[in-house]
Amino acid sequence: MTTGSGRGRSSRSPPENAPDLRHDGEPIKGSTRGATMVGNVMWELIQPLDELGIFARFLAEKGEGVHHIALATPNFDDVVAEQIQRGNALPLDGSFSGFKFAYLSTDRDLGVILETFSGTPGADQEPDAIQTAGS
């Protein structure tokens, strides 16, 4: 992939990189993901591995489209604790490749789910696969 800001970088991650996923508090199998960086923006393509999870439900109800937008926060634990204290459920939470993340119930207010996470996903990890233009 070539972008206006230079060469893009793609990776994919199997569900084994997220062993403690919870959907509405219940353990789930997860999903497989493909990700690419375009400039400073990471785009993920997510494939559900079951018919009951958050991603499968989104596809069934809305079809393909933007499921969530991720934002880093220096106070991840405080943000999550505040949401729980307000009585807001976490549609999806757990850890992925060594960082913690949580989806916040913002879809009714914003039309999309916000994801917050601790650290930068994959910053210190080699991707499972890399694909560049022409390969």
Give the pLDDT score at 1.
Answer: 30
Domain ranges of the chain: 2-117
Give the pLDDT score at 15.
Answer: 58
Give the pLDDT score at 97.
Answer: 73
What pTM does this model have?
A: 0.69
Task: For the chain, list residues with pLDDT below 50.
Answer: 1-10, 122, 125
**Over the stretch 41-64, which tens digit does the pLDDT of each residue have?**
778 888 887 787 788 888 899 899
Choose among 44, 43, 48, 13: nearest CA to 30. 48
Give the pLDDT score at 24.
Answer: 78
Give the pLDDT score at 81.
Answer: 94
Give the pLDDT score at 124.
Answer: 52
CATH fold of 2-117 reads 2,3-Dihydroxybiphenyl 1,2-Dioxygenase; domain 1 (3.10.180)
Distance CA 119, CA 84 (A): 21
Distance CA 101, CA 51 (A): 22
Signed CA dihedral, 43, 17, 116, 118: sign only: negative
Give the pLDDT score at 3.
Answer: 32
